[in-house]
Amino acid sequence: MTSGILHVDMDAFFASCEVARRPELRGRPVIVGGLGARGVVSAANYPARAYGVHSALPMAMARRRCPRGVFLSPDFTEYKRVSDSVMAIFRDVTPLVEPLSVDEAFLDVRGARRLFGEPREIAEGIRERIFAEHDITCTVGVAPTKFMAKLASTKAKPDGLLVIEPDGVLAFLHPLPVSDLWGVGEKTASSLARLGLHTVGDVAALPVARLRAAVGQAAALHLHELASGRDPRTVNVTREEKSVGAETTFDTDVSDPDVLRRALLELSNKVGSRARRAGYVGRTVTVKIRFDDFRTITRSRTLHTPTDVARELFTLANALLTEHSGGAALRLIGVRLEGLVETGRVARQPALGEREHGWRDAEQTVDSLRERFGAKVVRPASLLDPAAGDH
């Protein structure tokens, strides 16, 4: 076993992209996210984090904590452009790249040594090239397994590089708190603490049978393997999208059923369009509901036949929302299509009585028109707002 797995994680990616194209912001606290009254923080650079600002924090609270911060709306087109370029840098080194999101990826560089040197040299070269080409920093963890590489990058943040050699895995791993194990949240940590297990080494030393009594069979085996430094997962270059979704946060809490239906229809159209553009259909529709007290639930229903048709998504999502919202005031709603498979791998069976050229054909035509003339050129009649001059 060699330390040939890299986990590369961009540092405060959205905020770093903004500072890179606006050098006058360097050193200042920069917060990116929704700027409305109900917006949340998407990213905060490290000067902003010193004030207690972090992702998912309500923007109103971020403004109170950091009143002199620079607050910016996200520019996802720019972030995707930089992300695509960074991923291309990775693939210049090795074809074995597994993107996890726009700003992080696993790389298997064991086969790249002859061309680019040892893993540490490869990691240093990647960091230097990203900084030279984009003026942003990243942190790299290098280890024999994906779990250890991810852990190494977490400990080296920000703008760092940490290499864990195979013979140093247990010495590095065992003194760490159990919360550093992948899959251990507050509830599991409490269960382990009741057994007197506070460090990763404690978990590794405990027989699996006793661990099983606290966390169950599957979790016991999983945690014991990780605590012993074992992780059989390989870098997966064919990693598929798991879901496509969209959500909206209202400026004020909403309980009006008509307003909620309009918002849900718009979200369903976004999700259907994104799925078609990516070449996927999905079998499970999930609705996310956040109430005015911040309590959040998700509810799902599975279709017999996978779909990418917004009308079908809306029908199911609306039924879920009606059933589970209870008429309460809502802060946020979202729609997600899960259980994705490539469109070409599914033979779509028309519903009984459905026309040969039905809703899917109509929505594909709308997709084409929007690509040519803009997102608002064609909209469902129920989304038109006469007061805003839509007609």
Domains of the chain: 1-165 (3.30.70.270), 174-227 (1.10.150.20), 243-388 (3.30.1490.100)
Please identify which residue in the block is written with the tokens 């080494």: 201
Q: Are 142 and 149 in contact (CB under 8 A)?
A: yes
DSSP assignment, residue 372? H
**What pLDDT is recorded for position 186?**
84
Mean pLDDT, rounded, of the chain: 87
**Residue 304 — very low, low, confident or very high, per pLDDT cuts 50/70/90?**
confident
Q: Which of 253, 239, 235, 241 is nearest to 289 (CA)?
A: 253
Q: How many CA atoms lie within 13 A of 130 on its CB side?
A: 31
**What pLDDT is recorded for position 361?**
57
44-53 pLDDT per residue, tens: 999 999 999 9
Q: Are 147 and 3 in contact (CB under 8 A)?
A: no
The answer, yes or no, to whether residue 389 has pLDDT greater than 80, is: no
Q: Which of 128, 119, 127, 165 is nearest to 9 (CA)?
A: 127
232-277 pLDDT per residue, tens: 999 988 656 678 889 898 888 999 999 999 999 999 999 998 888 8
**Helix ranges, 70-161 (H):** 76-93, 113-116, 119-134, 146-156
Paired residues of 77 in beta bridges: none
Q: What's the token pair of residue 11?
A: 């540092």
Q: Are 214 and 155 in contact (CB under 8 A)?
A: no
**What pLDDT is recorded for position 210?**
87
**What pLDDT is recorded for position 37?**
78
59-80 pLDDT per residue, tens: 999 999 999 999 999 998 899 9
Q: Which helix (H) or strand (E) holds 275?
A: helix 257-278
Distance between first and last Cα of the chain: 65
Give dist(CA 304, CA 301) in Å, integer.
Answer: 10
Q: Which residue has the higher pLDDT, 18 or 296?
A: 18
Sequence letter at residue 59: M
33-37, 114-118, 306-310, 351-355, range with the lowest pLDDT: 351-355
Q: What's the token pair of residue 338?
A: 């899960």
Q: What distances in angstroms separate CA 25 from CA 17, 22, 373, one per listed residue?
A: 11, 6, 35
Helix (H, G, I), strand (E, B) or coil at 176: coil
Give dist(CA 325, CA 335) in Å, integer.
Answer: 14
- List the catalytic residue out of 18, 24, 98, 104: 104
pLDDT, mean of residues 106-125: 94
The answer, yes or no, to whether residue 123 has pLDDT greater than 80, is: yes
146-197 pLDDT per residue, tens: 999 999 999 999 999 999 999 999 999 999 999 999 888 888 888 899 889 9
Q: Is 241 known to be catalytic?
A: no
The answer, yes or no, to whether residue 331 has pLDDT greater than 50, is: yes
**Residue 212 — very low, low, confident or very high, per pLDDT cuts 50/70/90?**
confident
Q: How many percent of the chain have pLDDT more than 90?
A: 61
Which residues sit in the known binding site for Mg(2+)? 9, 103
